[in-house]
Amino acid sequence: MDPRAPSRGARGVHFPTATWKAAMHNEILLLVGTRPEAVKAAPVALALGRHRRLRPAIIHSGQHRGMVEQALAPFGLTPAEVLTVERRAGEQAELVAALLPALDGVLARRAPAALVVQGDTTTTLTGALAAFWRGIPVVHLEAGLRTGDLAAPFPEEGNRQMVARIASLHLAPTADAAEALRAEAIPAASVVVTGNTVVDAVRHIAAADRPAVNPALACLEADLDAGGGRLVLVTVHRRESWGAPLTEVLGAVRTLADRYPEVRVVLPAHPNPAVRRQVGDVLGGHPRITVTGPLAYPDLVRVLRRAELVITDSGGIQEEAPSFGVPVLVARAVTERMEAVRAGCAWLVGTDRARVLDAAERVLATGIRVPADQNPFGDGHAARRACAAIDQLLATQPTFGVPTSRTPATPRTPSADSTVVGDTPAVRSSSTVAVNPARVASTAVARTQ
């Protein structure tokens, strides 16, 4: 039997003490490979950087070269390492085959105290596997999102479910996500509701109020300033939407621009060549539709702040837009972010052309806005809670991340920002990890389910 083989106890995945001692120093690796991962991991890296003991290091898997660096730069962050991944066919199996040995080498060399993975990408799944096999605790940021359908979104839903089986700490963005984890028999004490770090990120960037960098966006803003108009943001890129569904959504967008001369549409096209070609075929040449490349995150935030409507299949946009009161039409058959739908911030409209167009026209006709101070995904303090939970994970070993023992090792003293609390209004479990209520303005988001 492999001496690194883990056991599972009431608090999750536990690793042998010898394995844990190989990673006793306090470096926390944050693994990112795509822009959304980088944006959501950035606030956690900043929070860990302020910690008195833990040291963050961002590892870029190389999945989306250039885009990760662009996303981190506005936060003043750069990757500690960037892996080189050769991709020819562009298939998932090819990426995993290249990433696994590369990530294993990083983990063997740096021996971190824990690995933080975010969301549901191929980088996320591969990193979690590599860390699990090396006996390094996996911290899953944005854990528990579920549609219950392995085909939608594909392959993200499967990635999430697989990571959940081997993570030691699950940082759930909402109470719904925590409930989904409990329904899958994930130990409740290993789940911490933090809020979504993307709310932290979008507030951080909005406060900086940087001018537009993209020339096309700068020109569009100047036109709107000079002549007025109504801005509509469209982002569509999901793999399950490629082909006919994407054509339907894009057709609705073109018709909307035709019918409403005051509407200006901006669509940051995904770098995938097939998606860009499809966007160009349907929307190309329209005088009031601006198609750009992927926008720098501050530019995207500028568009969100100014938009009157968002049409998207992006998960992140569903979470970000409510912070600015912008109504969202979700161009998907299902969403794992039903909190926005129930809160009246978003409407699930699918990809049918007539349905998307009808919903967009109703929003524009009524001028509806949503309460900007009631984002159902968080209050802007998720990273602080995530940092406290990671601190607690390490301070209370061996209850998280190492094997259960009849003679527990003496735990390190947790930082002042975290504590193990009992039955309080914010925490219903008798032995759960939560941020010290005295240090948190909103205990409702911080409760552990």
Q: State both tokens at 334.
A: 């299902």
Shared-domain flag, residues 83 and 107: yes
What end-to-end distance do the CA atoms of the chain give, in Å? 35
Shared-domain flag, residues 155 and 215: no
CA dihedral 436, 111, 406, 171 (to 10 degrees): 40
pLDDT at site 353 = 96
Asked if residue 183 belongs to a domain, the reply is yes
CA dihedral 309, 313, 317, 321 (to 10 degrees): 30
Shared-domain flag, residues 272 and 333: yes
Asked if residue 1 belongs to a domain, the reply is no
Q: What is the pTM of this model?
A: 0.80
Shared-domain flag, residues 424 and 283: no
Residue pair 7/14 in contact by the 8 Å Cβ criterion: yes
Boundary of a domain, candidates 344, 366, 388: 366
Shared-domain flag, residues 243 and 150: no
Q: What is the DSSP string of 127-143?
A: HHHHHHHTTPPEEEETT
**SS3 label, residue 191:** strand
CATH number at residue 412: 3.40.50.2000
Shared-domain flag, residues 170 and 52: yes
Which of 169 and 404 is assigned the larger pLDDT?
169
Shared-domain flag, residues 192 and 311: no
- Number of structural domains the chain divides into: 2
Q: State both tokens at 94.
A: 């090819």
Asked if residue 31 belongs to a domain, the reply is yes
Residue 382's nearest CA partner among 442, 295, 298, 321 is 442
CA dihedral 237, 233, 143, 137 (to 10 degrees): 70
Burial code (b: 16+ CB inside 10 Å, e: under 16) for 382-413 equals bbbbbbbbbbbbbbbbbbbbbbeeeeeeeeee
Boundary of a domain, candidates 342, 366, 390: 366
Confidence of residue 229 (pLDDT cuts 50, 70, 90): very high
What are the residue numbers of the active site? Answer: 120, 142, 156, 237, 239, 270
pLDDT at site 149 = 92
pLDDT at site 11 = 55
Q: State both tokens at 198.
A: 């993307």
For residue 27, the enclosing domain spans: 7-196+378-446
Contacts of 10 (CB under 8 A, 6+ apart): 187, 189, 404
Question: What Å distances lie between residue 20 and 64, 152, 378, CA to CA?
Answer: 31, 37, 33
Q: What is the DSSP string of 336-390?
A: S-HHHHHTTSEEE--S-HHHHHHHHHHHHHHT----TT--TT--S-HHHHHHHHH
Asked if residue 44 belongs to a domain, the reply is yes
Dihedral pair phi/psi, residue 348, rounded to 5°: -85, 110
Shared-domain flag, residues 172 and 221: no
What percentage of the chain carries pLDDT values higher than 70? 83
Shared-domain flag, residues 360 and 403: no
pLDDT at site 85 = 83
Contacts of 218 (CB under 8 A, 6+ apart): 211, 212
Each residue's pLDDT tens digit, 151-177: 888 899 999 999 999 999 999 999 999
Boundary of a domain, candidates 366, 393, 413: 366
- Residue 15 predicted with pLDDT over 70: no
* Cα(117)–Cα(288) distance, integer angstroms: 39
Asked if residue 143 belongs to a domain, the reply is yes
Dihedral pair phi/psi, residue 52, rounded to 5°: -75, -15
Shared-domain flag, residues 362 and 396: no
CB neighbour class for 210 (10 Å; exposed up to 12, middle 13-18, buried from 19): middle
Task: Provide mean pLDDT across the span 408-423.
Answer: 38
Residue 169's nearest CA partner among 146, 140, 142 is 140
Each residue's pLDDT tens digit, 308-362: 999 999 888 999 999 999 999 999 988 889 999 999 999 999 999 999 999 999 9
* Cα(221)–Cα(226) distance, integer angstroms: 9
Shared-domain flag, residues 293 and 325: yes
Shared-domain flag, residues 177 and 318: no
- One-letter amino acid for residue 282 of the chain: V
What is the 8-class DSSP label of residue 34? S
pLDDT at site 10 = 53
pLDDT at site 5 = 59
- One-letter amino acid for residue 303 of the chain: V
Each residue's pLDDT tens digit, 63-92: 988 889 999 999 999 999 999 887 777 788
Give all strands of the β-sheet with 263-268 in edge-to-edge order: 289-292, 263-268, 230-235, 309-312, 328-330, 346-348
Q: What's the chain's average pLDDT?
A: 84
pLDDT at site 413 = 45
pLDDT at site 433 = 33
**SS3 label, residue 294:** coil
pLDDT at site 241 = 75
Asked if residue 168 belongs to a domain, the reply is yes
Q: What is the DSSP string of 245-273?
A: HHHHHHHHHHHHHHH-TTEEEEEE--S-H
E strands along 187-262, which residues?
191-193, 230-235
Q: State both tokens at 308.
A: 């009157």
Which of 19 and 238 is assigned the larger pLDDT?
238
Asked if residue 158 belongs to a domain, the reply is yes
- Residue 275 predicted with pLDDT over 90: no
Asked if residue 205 belongs to a domain, the reply is no
